[in-house]
Amino acid sequence: MTRLATLLLALLLVSPFPAAAQSLAVVHARAWTLAGDRPIEDATIVVEQGRVRSVMASGTPPAGMPVIDAKGQPVTPGLFNAATQLGLVEVSSAPDTVDSRARGEQFGAAFDVSLALNGHSQPVALARSDGITGATSYPGLSGVAPFSGLAAQIRLREGVDILDRASVALFVSIGGSGNAGQGSRAIQWQSLRAALDEVRNPPPVELRTVSVADAGALRRVLARTLPLAITTHRESDILQAIRLAGDYNVRVILVGGSEAWRVADRLAAADIPVILDPLENLPATFDRLGARQDSAALLRRAGVRIAFGNVGGPISFTYNAGIALRESAGIAVVNGLSWVEALRAITVEPRAIFAQGGGKLVPGNPADMVVWDGDPLEPSTNAVAVIVEGRSVSLENRQTALARRYLGNKP
């Protein structure tokens, strides 16, 4: 059976479960709760009021509760993509559908993408059908380099409102891709440090160069209530990020980090997590000459907290945000990362990096979970049921609608 036919079958399988229900049970599950490193076999997961009430082996669901039979297949927490532009970009080559970038110099650090999120964006439905229940949507470059702006955490519930939390991190971009006409990357680092210095020790009003709005965001960074997510790849820039974290006592998250493995011990010592994309393992630019396939395994072995996101290109940012994330995790496993660590990198760890709870199938946590028809880290595997906040959501997307229209029931 083709992947397309399997997806259509999955739509039929979940249709009996009422989308409005926040109480349901999943039975006969191979439940990867991630409270430990092993699954609970033949598990019954009971959900009430949008939260996990219990997970137990061979349990009996409450009478009258809607039931999803996992038939012995894996059930995992809902996947979380740590770096996307879901809800911000529809078609990257169509400027009127791109809300991830700020032009002009009015907003830099204060550019807040949460105001532009669109839950009806087609890539959102596609990612949801691929098992993504949460993500960090981050901005591209702004007109005030090296700042990109404020990222938002989203939950892929049905409907237009997908915002879960605004301003989860301030993103900056440094290196060849973050040049934005500044010239040397030294200017990028100097600009970032100068802005932090000005906000930490404000000069007279007439001498200030940082806008009031941008200063507000930077004050939160200096107060350690807002992490500074630095998108960069070269070893020398990563060392600068480590120094900056120490000099200003700020929470730094490294995004990209193709050469982060070279300084893994120093990142671990500085408690700096890394959001990387195992698919991006080739020396595609001069900043990434040290890229390697086992980067995730090397970082984790050194004690660095890792999460996976799609930082490689516009297609992965949006249309492939689900399947590319799972493929990335699988590639990391092939190259030395344990299977359960890879699953954590797309569930628990990204939430923890952005100081959010959840990501485990344990009592009290939000009931975001996925029933799979095979290994979730295999891109050919499909989500049979996706549950967001205790609701079994539709797996319908533009691709399945077109397939049904033009192929009907053909395999």
Q: What is the mean pLDDT of residues 173-196?
A: 85
Question: What is the spatial distance between Cα 14 and Cα 36, in angstroms, rounded to a whole number?
Answer: 28
Domains in the chain, CATH or no CATH each: 3-77+364-407 (2.30.40.10), 80-353 (3.20.20.140)
Specify whether the CB–CB gap between 28 and 407 falls below 8 A.
Answer: no
β-pairing verdict for 228-232 and 252-256 = parallel
Specify whether the CB–CB gap between 116 and 88 falls below 8 A.
Answer: yes
Question: What is the spatial distance between Cα 192 and Cα 147, in angstroms, rounded to a whole number?
Answer: 8
Q: What is the mean pLDDT of residues 391-397?
A: 95
pLDDT tens digit sequence for 282-315 = 999 999 999 999 999 999 999 999 999 987 655 4
Share of the chain above pLDDT 70, in %: 91
Question: What is the spatial distance between Cα 384 and Cα 129, in angstroms, rounded to a whole number?
Answer: 9
Exposed, middle or buried, 5 (CB in 10 Å: 0-12/13-18/19+)? middle
**Structure confidence at residue 98 as a pLDDT band (50, 70, 90):** confident
| 87-91, 142-146, 171-175, 184-188: least confident range | 142-146
Question: What is the spatial distance between Cα 281 and Cα 312, in angstroms, rounded to a whole number?
Answer: 10
The yes-or-no verdict on residue 20 having pLDDT over 80 is: no
> Which neighbouring-strand residues pair with 46?
25, 54
pLDDT at position 8 is 44
pLDDT tens digit sequence for 329-355 = 999 999 999 999 999 999 999 999 998
